[in-house]
């Protein structure tokens, strides 16, 4: 069972960075190894949809963060080892018969490149195995490694099954003699190649856990708690957006009795940003990563669909309105599957006239609100639609982002309040840009021109 | 005043070019690609120059459109084979000898190489020379077709130049040498010298005339095929635009519309349902005015206009999220830019599609009424403003006399909306958004009916 996210959503939330600015992926990607970065991307591509898996990953990251465990390997070793283990060409196998005087001579004058590479790979691999052994030894002394226990067992399984005791003997050696190199190379690269790769995968996972834990410390992120409690769908305390400096924090709470938030607010009051923050937090929580808030509890969802920057497709001849209709239709199909989706819709039906937008908003939202499994966050300018819905539906929660006028200048608090706002400051913005003055000024110029 | 206008270039910005889809050789359905049926590379360059340098006095506009008209009426065909021209062009522009001795030495060297069996260079040069003679002969015949007693020939000057060059004494051998293959070394050296040194400047001029012929014929052909006509330009003092049966060149079986602007009615307030064709009509006006300022044929039956200083459109304004602009703010800034342009250059054409669609109704209403009123006072510029907010139109109708109210109607056939694309007077209150939602059966889908 997967967590469903589509391209529109990934773009809206800037998960992989199409819009410019710092993407969420780039924000978290500070791994020590290339393999770790790839694994991190894979985790982002496939968020989890299982409570235990999510909590397990969260606990693991928290464990490393709490115990301030640093990555115990030299990251450069993995570039060497990666190439080394991929070379499974049997012709490159070293054999004892080749340990001739001729080889020694070639080695002495430094032309035995192929052998040097293999030698380097063996040394690096031994260092990795030894460090891993030490590391696991340390971990087991720590009291609460329960969430990481599965990985620890896998590590130990590899250490045991391959009987890698000999690595201890070669610890910290910079040079190995030819017969040893040939023997170890055979074991590492051919006989136990698969196990060595599993070992690397385990280390890449460790890399992700530790580096994400570091990010969490640096930015003061929090771990979300996954539940299967449908009564409390999403509870976030002090939520904020990662890309904003000195952000204002908001509490968001969506439960069974209010599975829809109807959000209003003036232009630039922060509606889109708030919706993006919610989307990002829910997304990260399903990856099992820490979120930008002080506390979060959520019922595991089956998917996330946002519609924040919907492009109209003029080449196909779609108007903006029709693009919106098609997007709503797509989401309607998903919602009808009786699954738990979080649906975020910014400025629903802005591409049509007022009356249509009103009718459509009321009709669509009423139908959506009956789908109690799913959760909806909808923003719109059509406050009249909100007033109508308020009378008829009791499972819709009405929130707004206020604007306070300081003389001519609108000031935004970015703090959610309950209710519907009819703040409109479009004319204020136009007045502040002095457009009408610019045009009226010209009247005088024209007359001057004629009088001349 | 006039001197000043000649110095100014036509005002247009990237947003406008993108909105109207004018430029771009490889852009789908761009206006440039519609006209790009030229044969020579130099012709393409010239066409490109026309697209980037618009005219802004009525005399040169009318002169150029008469030229295209003349070519269309004459139904001329490009007289030169493409293969021949490519070779001739390469040959003529390849080397510039610095003096006659140099030319002779070069010919001798080629001849020497040929004697020792390396005749590739000679073959290439000979091919080029032969192709050149073919081109010249075709041109001579082509030039004669212009002499058929035509009274007014806007291409006369170029024809005269063409004739003078082709009748040059040094080029008479071309007419005689029917057997191209039997060129002796002395002949080869002499001809090469004439073509690539002695008459270098004349032949460069000749090439340019060929490019012009190429473009003229290409444009005339497009006009013929697409049913375009030629606009008549007037000086800019009186603001007016008058279209008869205007259509968009990229729409199949387009419906033609009449529309007029004058200094008494310089604003068109356009309403209509979604998909009724508002944007297409506005784009058609923009494209026609752009083409008219190049002196090119335009997609209408008739078009008379006073020359403009520029076009600004606001059809697809993207929100700039990098800079933290909301869609509404991006629109406000665009309107501000245009307002500044309107005050510094009086004679403009401004197209606003769905003004202020990024905000709530009441704001959009207020803003539309105020901005439209302010713009309508600028009687030297013409404006088209389209909006969903018919209430704004009703308010403006009461007090403004500068504004014409037009709409594109929707006719309902049962539950299916049919669009006529034919302009009518008044304000539309067609609203079929709910019909579209009904047709897509969204409510039923949410309720699970289609699973």
**pTM (2 d.p.):** 0.71
Residue A122 token pair: 């063996």
Confidence bin at B8 (pLDDT 50/70/90)? very low
Please indicate, yes or no, if residue A287 is contained in any of the structural domains.
Answer: yes
Please indicate, yes or no, if residue B314 is contained in any of the structural domains.
Answer: yes
pLDDT at position B188:
79
pLDDT at position A451:
41
* One domain, residues B198 and B100: yes
* One domain, residues A160 and A249: no
Question: What is the domain count for chain B?
Answer: 2
Question: DSSP string spanning B29-50?
Answer: T-HHHHH---SSHHHHHHHHHH
* One domain, residues B220 and B355: no
Task: Measure A279 CA to nearest chain B CA, in Å.
Answer: 17
* One domain, residues A256 and A367: yes
Residue A246 token pair: 């000195």
User: Which among B329, B330, B338, B360 is the top mutation candidate for probing chain A, defined by the most A β-carbons within 10 Å of its own β-carbon?
Assistant: B360
* One domain, residues A135 and A274: no
User: Which among B342, B442, B443 is the top mutation candidate for probing chain A, defined by the most A β-carbons within 10 Å of its own β-carbon?
Assistant: B442
Please indicate, yes or no, if residue B59 is contained in any of the structural domains.
Answer: no
pLDDT tens digits, one per residue of B364-377: 888 888 899 989 98
Query: Does the CB of A315 have a partner CB in chain B at under 8 Å?
Result: yes
B388: closest chain A residue by CA: A353
Query: Does the CB of B4 have a partner CB in chain A at under 8 Å?
Result: no
* One domain, residues A52 and A173: yes
* One domain, residues A62 and A41: yes
* One domain, residues B133 and B243: no
Please indicate, yes or no, if residue B344 is contained in any of the structural domains.
Answer: yes
A432: closest chain B residue by CA: B332
Q: Which domain holds residue B324?
A: 2-12+235-443
Please indicate, yes or no, if residue B272 is contained in any of the structural domains.
Answer: yes
Task: Measure B53 CA to nearest chain A CA, in Å.
Answer: 28
Other C-beta atoms within 10 Å of B76: how many? 18
Q: How many CB pairs under 8 A join A and B?
A: 162
B251: closest chain A residue by CA: A317
pLDDT averaged over every residue in chain B: 84
* One domain, residues A233 and A344: yes
CB contact under 8 A, B274 and A351: yes
Give me the sign of the Cα torsion angle A427, A428, A430, A436.
positive
pLDDT at position A96:
67
- What is the arithmetic mean of pLDDT over B389-416? 85
pLDDT at position A416:
92
Please indicate, yes or no, if residue B40 is contained in any of the structural domains.
Answer: no
pLDDT at position A9:
92
* One domain, residues A208 and A59: yes
pLDDT at position A97:
66
Which of B195, B224, B253 is the C-terminal boundary of a domain? B224
Torsion of CA B420, B421, B422, B425, to 10 degrees: 100
Residue B124: CB partners within 8 Å, gap ≥ 6? none
Give me the sign of the Cα torsion angle B133, B134, B135, B138.
positive
A380: closest chain B residue by CA: B360
Q: Cα dist. B238→B184, B241, B339 in Å?
A: 67, 10, 21
Please indicate, yes or no, if residue A237 is contained in any of the structural domains.
Answer: yes
Which of B224, B243, B265 is the C-terminal boundary of a domain? B224
CB contact under 8 A, A381 and B319: no
- Cα–Cα distance for residue pair B383/B376, rounded to 1 Å: 8
CB contact under 8 A, B437 and A363: yes
* One domain, residues B160 and B272: no
Residue A330 token pair: 């797509």
pLDDT at position B299:
95
Please indicate, yes or no, if residue A449 is contained in any of the structural domains.
Answer: no
Please indicate, yes or no, if residue A292 is contained in any of the structural domains.
Answer: yes
pLDDT at position B150:
57
pLDDT at position B169:
84
Contact (CB, 8 A) for B66 and B116: no
Please indicate, yes or no, if residue B45 is contained in any of the structural domains.
Answer: no
pLDDT at position B350:
94
Residue B103 token pair: 């030319």
Which of B196, B224, B252 is the C-terminal boundary of a domain? B224
Please indicate, yes or no, if residue B31 is contained in any of the structural domains.
Answer: no
Please indicate, yes or no, if residue A22 is contained in any of the structural domains.
Answer: no
pLDDT at position B6:
38
Q: Which domain holds residue A175?
A: 31-219
Please indicate, yes or no, if residue A1 is contained in any of the structural domains.
Answer: no
* One domain, residues B309 and B359: yes
* One domain, residues B216 and B291: no
CB contact under 8 A, A368 and B367: no
- The kind and range of the H/E element at A51 are helix A51-66
A309: closest chain B residue by CA: B319
Phi then psi dihedrals of residue B320, to 5 deg: -105, 90
Residues of A302-314 as b/e, b for ≥16 C-beta within 10 angstroms?
A: bbbbbbbbbebee
| CATH number reported for the structural domain that contains residue A348 in this entry | 3.40.50.300
* One domain, residues B313 and B401: yes
| CATH number reported for the structural domain that contains residue A39 in this entry | 1.10.1420
pLDDT tens digits, one per residue of B95-129: 666 677 777 787 777 777 777 777 777 788 888 88
* One domain, residues B354 and B414: yes
* One domain, residues A229 and A111: no
Please indicate, yes or no, if residue A447 is contained in any of the structural domains.
Answer: no
Task: Measure B353 CA to nearest chain A CA, in Å.
Answer: 12
Question: Contacts of residue B359 in chain A, CB cutoff 8 Å?
Answer: 267, 381, 424, 426
* One domain, residues A262 and A313: yes
- Residue A427 has its nearest CB partner, among B333, B363, B436, at B363
Percent of chain B with pLDDT over 90: 31
Task: Measure B263 CA to nearest chain A CA, in Å.
Answer: 14
User: Quick one: which of B281, B438, B443 has its CA closest to B353?
Assistant: B281
* One domain, residues B254 and B149: no
CB interface of B with A, residues 319-338, below 8 Å? 319, 321-322, 326, 328-329, 332-333, 335-336
- What is the arithmetic mean of pLDDT over B141-147? 78
* One domain, residues A303 and A389: yes
pLDDT at position A406:
82
A273: closest chain B residue by CA: B324
CB interface of A with B, residues 425-444, below 8 Å? 425-427, 429-430, 433-436, 438-443
User: Quick one: which of B417, B415, B349, B356 has its CA closest to B391?
Assistant: B356
pLDDT at position A308:
84
CB contact under 8 A, A439 and B442: no
Contact (CB, 8 A) for B64 and B55: yes
CB contact under 8 A, A382 and B360: yes
pLDDT at position A346:
87
Other C-beta atoms within 10 Å of A333: how many? 13
Question: Contacts of residue A371 in chain B, CB cutoff 8 Å?
Answer: 446
- Residue B442 has its nearest CB partner, among A309, A328, A438, at A328
* One domain, residues B339 and B393: yes
CB contact under 8 A, A319 and B275: yes
Please indicate, yes or no, if residue A299 is contained in any of the structural domains.
Answer: yes
Which of A187, A219, A251 is the C-terminal boundary of a domain? A219
User: Which among B28, B317, B346, B363 is the top mutation candidate for probing chain A, defined by the most A β-carbons within 10 Å of its own β-carbon?
Assistant: B363
* One domain, residues B240 and B220: no
pLDDT at B258 > cutoff 90: yes
- What is the arithmetic mean of pLDDT over B386-399? 84
CB interface of A with B, residues 58-117, below 8 Å? none
- Cα–Cα distance for residue pair A403/B316, rounded to 1 Å: 28
- Cα–Cα distance for residue pair B192/B91, rounded to 1 Å: 10
- Cα–Cα distance for residue pair B385/B131, rounded to 1 Å: 56
pLDDT at position A130:
92
Task: Measure B424 CA to nearest chain A CA, in Å.
Answer: 19
B391: closest chain A residue by CA: A354
* One domain, residues A179 and A297: no
* One domain, residues B139 and B264: no
CB interface of B with A, residues 262-291, below 8 Å? 274-275, 279
pLDDT at position B325:
61
pLDDT at B29 > cutoff 50: yes
Question: Contacts of residue A314 in chain B, CB cutoff 8 Å?
Answer: 316
* One domain, residues A62 and A78: yes
Q: What is the pLDDT along chain A (452 residues), one digit of tens a residue?
A: 689 999 989 988 989 876 556 899 999 999 999 999 999 999 999 999 999 999 999 999 999 999 999 999 988 899 999 889 988 887 778 776 666 677 777 676 666 678 888 899 999 999 999 999 999 999 998 878 888 999 999 999 998 876 778 888 888 888 888 888 888 998 999 888 899 999 999 999 999 999 999 999 999 999 999 999 888 889 999 999 988 888 899 999 998 788 999 999 887 788 888 999 999 999 999 999 999 999 999 999 999 999 987 765 544 556 667 788 889 999 999 888 888 999 999 888 876 777 788 888 999 999 999 888 899 999 987 888 888 999 988 889 999 999 888 877 788 889 999 998 877 777 777 788 888 888 776 544 444 444 43
Question: What is the domain count for chain A?
Answer: 2
| CATH number reported for the structural domain that contains residue B330 in this entry | 3.40.50.300
Query: Does the CB of B389 have a partner CB in chain A at under 8 Å?
Result: yes
Which of A177, A195, A219 is the C-terminal boundary of a domain? A219
Question: Contacts of residue B437 in chain A, CB cutoff 8 Å?
Answer: 325, 328, 360, 363-364
Question: Contacts of residue A326 in chain B, CB cutoff 8 Å?
Answer: 440
- Cα–Cα distance for residue pair A138/A128, rounded to 1 Å: 15
Residue A409: CB partners within 8 Å, gap ≥ 6? A432
Which of A183, A201, A219 is the C-terminal boundary of a domain? A219
Residue with tokens 């035995």: A112
Question: Contacts of residue B279 in chain A, CB cutoff 8 Å?
Answer: 319
Give me the sign of the Cα torsion angle A433, A442, B352, B28.
negative
CB contact under 8 A, A356 and B321: no
């Amino acid at each position: 069972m997967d967590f469903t996210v589509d391209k529109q959503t990934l773009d809206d939330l800037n998960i992989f960075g199409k819009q410019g600015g710092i993407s969420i992926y780039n924000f978290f990607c500070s791994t020590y190894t290339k393999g770790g970065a790839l694994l991190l991307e894979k985790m982002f591509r496939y968020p989890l949809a299982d409570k235990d898996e999510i909590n397990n990953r969260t606990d693991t990251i928290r464990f490393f963060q709490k115990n301030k465990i640093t990555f115990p390997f030299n990251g450069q070793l993995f570039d060497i080892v990666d190439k080394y283990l991929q070379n499974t060409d049997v012709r490159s196998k070293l054999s004892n018969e080749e340990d001739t005087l001729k080889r020694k001579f070639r080695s002495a004058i430094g032309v035995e490149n192929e052998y040097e590479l293999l030698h380097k790979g063996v040394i690096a691999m031994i260092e990795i195995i030894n460090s891993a052994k030490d590391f696991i030894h340390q971990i087991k002394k720590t009291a609460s490694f329960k969430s990481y226990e599965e990985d620890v067992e896998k590590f130990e399984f590899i250490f045991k099954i391959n009987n890698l005791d000999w690595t201890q003997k070669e610890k910290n050696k910079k040079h190995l003699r030819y017969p040893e190199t040939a023997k170890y190379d055979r074991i590492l690269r051919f006989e136990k190649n698969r196990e060595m790769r599993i070992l690397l995968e385990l280390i890449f996972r460790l890399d992700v856990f530790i580096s994400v834990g570091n990010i969490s410390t640096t930015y003061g992120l929090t771990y979300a708690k996954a539940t299967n409690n449908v009564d409390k769908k999403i509870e976030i305390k002090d939520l904020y957006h990662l890309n904003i400096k000195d952000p204002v924090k908001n509490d968001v709470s969506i439960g069974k009795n209010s599975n829809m938030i109807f959000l209003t607010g003036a232009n630039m009051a922060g509606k889109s940003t708030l919706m993006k923050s919610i989307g990002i937090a829910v997304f990260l929580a399903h990856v099992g990563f820490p979120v930008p808030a002080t506390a979060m509890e959520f019922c595991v969802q089956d998917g996330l669909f946002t519609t924040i920057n919907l492009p109209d497709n003029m080449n196909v001849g779609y108007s903006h309105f029709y693009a919106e209709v098609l997007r709503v239709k797509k989401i309607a199909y998903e919602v009808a599957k009786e699954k738990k989706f979080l649906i975020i819709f910014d400025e629903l039906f802005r591409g049509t006239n007022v009356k249509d937008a009103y009718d459509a908003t009321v009709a669509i939202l009423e139908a959506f609100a009956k789908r109690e499994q799913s959760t909806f966050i909808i923003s719109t300018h059509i406050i009249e639609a909100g007033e109508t819905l308020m009378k008829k539906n009791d499972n819709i929660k009405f929130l707004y982002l206020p604007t306070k006028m300081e003389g001519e200048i609108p000031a935004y608090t970015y703090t959610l309040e309950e209710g519907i706002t009819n703040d409109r400051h479009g004319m204020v913005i136009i007045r502040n840009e002095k457009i009408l003055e610019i045009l009226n000024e010209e009247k005088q110029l024209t007359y001057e021109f004629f009088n001349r | 005043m006039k001197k000043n206008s000649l110095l100014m270039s036509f005002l247009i910005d990237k947003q406008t070019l993108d909105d109207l889809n004018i430029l771009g050789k490889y852009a789908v359905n761009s206006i440039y690609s519609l006209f790009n049926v030229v044969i020579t590379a130099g012709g393409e360059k010239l066409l490109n120059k026309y697209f980037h340098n618009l005219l802004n006095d009525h005399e040169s506009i009318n002169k150029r459109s008469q030229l295209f008209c003349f070519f269309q009426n004459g139904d001329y065909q490009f007289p030169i084979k493409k293969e021949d021209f490519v070779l001739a062009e390469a040959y003529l522009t390849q080397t510039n000898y610095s003096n006659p001795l140099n030319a002779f030495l070069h010919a001798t060297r080629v001849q020497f190489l040929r004697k020792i069996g390396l005749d590739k260079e000679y073959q290439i040069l000979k091919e080029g020379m032969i192709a050149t003679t073919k081109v010249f002969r075709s041109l001579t015949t082509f030039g004669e077709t212009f002499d058929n007693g035509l009274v007014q020939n806007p291409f006369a000057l170029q024809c005269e130049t063409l004739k003078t060059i082709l009748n040059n004494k040094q080029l008479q051998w071309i007419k005689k040498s029917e057997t191209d293959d039997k060129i002796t070394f002395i002949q080869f050296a002499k001809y090469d010298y004439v073509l690539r040194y002695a008459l270098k400047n004349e032949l460069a001029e000749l090439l340019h005339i060929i490019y012009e012929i190429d473009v003229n014929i290409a444009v005339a052909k497009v006009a013929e095929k697409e049913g375009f006509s030629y606009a008549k330009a007037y000086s800019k003092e009186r603001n007016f635009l008058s279209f008869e049966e205007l259509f968009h060149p990229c729409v199949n079986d387009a419906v033609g519309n009449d529309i007029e602007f004058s200094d008494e009615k310089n604003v068109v307030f356009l309403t209509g349902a979604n998909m009724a064709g508002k944007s297409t009509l506005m784009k058609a006006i923009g494209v026609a005015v752009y083409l008219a300022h190049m002196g090119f044929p335009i997609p209408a039956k008739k078009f008379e206009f006073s020359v403009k200083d520029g076009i600004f459109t606001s059809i697809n304004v993207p929100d700039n999220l990098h800079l933290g602009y909301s869609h509404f703010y991006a629109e406000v800034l665009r309107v501000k830019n245009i307002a500044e342009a309107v005050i510094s250059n009086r004679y403009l054409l401004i197209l606003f599609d769905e003004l202020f669609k990024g905000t709530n109704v009441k704001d959009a209403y207020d803003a539309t009424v105020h901005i439209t009123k302010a713009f309508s006072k600028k009687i030297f510029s013409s404006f088209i403003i389209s909006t969903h907010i018919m209430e704004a139109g009703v308010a403006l109708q009461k007090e403004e006399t500068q504004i014409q109210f037009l709409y594109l109607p929707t006719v309902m056939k049962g539950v299916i909306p049919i669009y006529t694309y034919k302009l009518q007077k008044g304000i539309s209150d067609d609203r079929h958004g709910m019909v579209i939602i009904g047709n897509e059966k969204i409510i039923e889908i949410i309720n699970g009916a289609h699973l």
